Amino acid sequence: GITFRIQINVKELLDTDVLLKLLFHLPVNYPSTLPDIAVSSDQLTRAQCIDIRDKLFEQAKKHLSEPMVHDLILWIQEHLKYVIKQSATVCNEKTTLSKGRSMEDSIWMLLLHLDHMRAKAKYVKTVEKWALDLRLTGRLMFMGKIILILLQGDRSNIKEYLILQKTSKIDVDSSGKKCKEKMMSVLCETKVQTQHKRFQTFEVKEYSTRDELQKEFETAGLKTLFSEFVPPLLK
């Protein structure tokens, strides 16, 4: 597929300029399949950006099987004021709905393997910020040369995290120049099952031995996940 960013200035409620940063990932069978969309803005809260993204998905469904990116941009330019105005109401409605359904219905899990981190401190700080912004919990795990990211959260936020991980200049190359993550592997992306325990926070942890790492997985009810994906990385 293709991934690209678009930045647009939009007049918001108080006639102030809002710079919206829209990231579209068009899968290979687009437009028969909806694009993945990420929204960010320094002038808006994370909740507001998520509401904007959700509204864009609603509009995208109306244009399925036809090119839609241009129409989506025009739509948000025209309707941003309304979306922001309704953001608090929508947020309250979502909270009410979420209380009435099982958490397992909406929670997904993602396991990533990273080949290396050259700018480790900056890389870790960025991953922590993304997890916080997207309300994802889990672990960034280091054991020797093994680097794993285990995330749990809303499926759409998991997808948005993946887009950020693949398209942002999060590390540096051998010459110290900023670069994108090109050596990441998605080991597993699946729905959280009843036997899986939910992580309450996102933490960065280092392990001295395989047993310590395995215990982390087993404590979370993820023994099968560990045995299927981690041992091959240790060889």
Q: Is the pLDDT of residue 12 over 70?
A: no
Q: pLDDT digit string (tens) for 128-162?
A: 999 988 889 999 999 999 999 999 999 888 988 98
Q: In this structure, which amino acid lies at residue 124? A: V
| pTM higher than 0.75 | no
Q: In terms of Cα–Cα distance, which of 200, 204, 224, 226 is closest to 213?
A: 226
CB burial string 2-23: b at 16+ within 10 A, e below: eeeeeeeebebeeeeebebebb
Give CA–CA dist 118/93, Å, rounded. Answer: 43
What is each CA distance from 88 to 41, 44, 82, 93, 179, in whole angstroms? 17, 13, 11, 9, 37
In angstroms, the CA 129 to CA 127 distance is 5
In terms of CATH, what superfamily is 2-89?
Answer: Ubiquitin Conjugating Enzyme (3.10.110.10)
User: Tokens for 222?
Assistant: 């993820």
Work out the percent of the chain whose per-residue pLDDT is above 70. Answer: 90
User: Domain residue spans in the chain?
Assistant: 2-89, 108-233
Class of domain 108-233: alpha beta
